[in-house]
Chains A and B, each alone.
Chain A
């Protein structure tokens, strides 16, 4: 379903671009970019003007240029993760409770995951250096599990969400002050398959 919506969205954008002019087309060899199949275009053209909401709700990345290559649209997994498409959630010291800010981040992440239903995501639980190495393994896991549970409650399929605790093994900020610590107490998202 979401993929269809993206297709429609793309076509709407393509139509709009086509209607606006063909300046960009001059830079491109025409053969390199197959045009959309005419029946779809006709179908789309017959519809009322495209609703504006999907444009604003689209993920903060480019729309697939072609339905046939949609699996490569975001680049490699590496690129997706480097872009930080799924934002991290932060925690208080020795806490696994999510702030309202964290819940908003997770709502957005859930939305994104629904738009890309093939994504499998690893939720990494991290802690700051002020806890012990051993207990932090448990605390990090608990953070990851609570985030997973929250995403499931928002309708993300549980089997798409893995958890892993890194305790205080991989701080994002190597500093030793509250700013670094607050940065390092997090649930971090990594897309592991798409």
Chain B
């Protein structure tokens, strides 16, 4: 959890502003990672809201109240209510009552005037009530989660920050409600990175008129997209570092050959190319080890495509696969002791697992696929590997249970679905799909439910989820 504290977004602000990019909401950077940035912890409520039916507790999130009467406070209050509802809905731990069903129930300024009978009538078992107050330095947001049955606050906190990004208030509240009510690490403050042609630029210095792809980041729900590469070349397969401060990707930015680049996105420093590619030695498809100390990648340095591992600073490169066929697309096991990858050594692309030291014989795990690629190992505690499998004219996302050796299908032939990436809790996946027409980023629960389109602008590819 420490990595999703306010510490990081606050640090990010300075760097993003230095880059000339819109900043994130600034919360006190001095907060120790484990401490929530609220100031009203003494009033933290107790008790878990449960459902009388035994199912998911039914929650309502009416619009937050603007305690200061200006338009900005009202806009912030409206945004927080909407985004918080969507954040709580995303984890599917609560049954979120549709917001239009209670638009007419007044939200009182005082708890004493709360019309609990009307909420009970609606079926709500919990209500999230909040106020937004502008202060000299920014915004203060008070939030309470009321247990309708006991008419007491189960959760009560106050947050302060800038008005620059109201959504971060909602994301923080959602994560803390999930933690307090369900002992769950929510992902509302995580981010996605992906490759996109949304700016419609053309490659420079090439014979053919070819569109560029650049690397972008966005909130986990697709909001606040920001471009992080500006080189008018092909930039693909971005992956987050484990500390969430850097992105590694494949780029043709230097003399039009593919190499790995690491960009510290909040520092504004030039990207590094630790694999030291040349116009002969090409490096692709970086994958950070879970502890962030190593990078696995594909390279042609031995005359054909092999998996290599190097230290994150580029030193100590060592060969992991030894086969005249193609070995591509590595991913690390959660403990960092194994690597899954794609190989065509059997005649078609299939997924194999090998020890991360390269010793031992690779074990093939896909047996019923005509084409399997982009293995992505789930973070703990689920020991499973997602991959794209050819099915009919396109691909579907499947998940292989490593211990049980069983495979299940996550998508069902709606468009072509590729490039799965797990959320940091392993409860969701992001992937590329053509189901909406052209390539877009979608997310889905690991049970295959809750599909949601994340991007709409341009075409968007190969998502990766911050840890």
A residues adjacent to B (C-beta < 8 A): 77-78, 81-82, 94, 122, 130-135, 137-139, 141-142, 145, 162-166, 169-170, 190
Contact = CB atoms under 8 A, between A and B. Distances in A.
A145 B304 contact: yes
B75 to A, nearest CB: 40
A78 B205 CA distance: 10
A169 B300 contact: no
A145 B303 CA distance: 8
Contacts of A134: 237, 285, 328-329, 342, 373-374, 419, 462
Given A78-B207, A170-B208, A132 B258 contact: no
22 contacts: A77-B207, A82-B207, A94-B348, A132-B419, A133-B419, A133-B432, A133-B462, A134-B329, A135-B342, A135-B344, A135-B371, A137-B250, A137-B284, A138-B342, A142-B305, A142-B326, A162-B257, A164-B252, A164-B258, A164-B282, A166-B234, A190-B207
Nearest to A129: B416
A133 B305 contact: no
B236 A169 contact: yes
B23 to A, nearest CB: 32
Given A81-B207, A145-B300, 6 more contacts: A77-B207, A130-B393, A131-B373, A135-B329, A163-B282, A165-B258
Contacts of A164: 252, 256-258, 282
B207 A142 contact: no
A130 B388 CA distance: 12
Contacts of A190: 207
A135 B342 CA distance: 8
A4 B257 CA distance: 35
Given A77-B207, A132-B418, A134-B237, A165 B282 contact: yes
Given A164-B257, A169-B213, A132 B284 contact: no
Contact of A170 (B210, B282, B371, B462): B210
A140 B395 CA distance: 19
Contacts of A81: 207
A166 B256 CA distance: 10
Contact of A135 (B236, B280, B328): B328
A169 to B, nearest CB: 6
Nearest to A132: B373
B375 to A, nearest CB: 10
A133 B419 CA distance: 8
A150 B300 CA distance: 17
B257 A135 contact: no
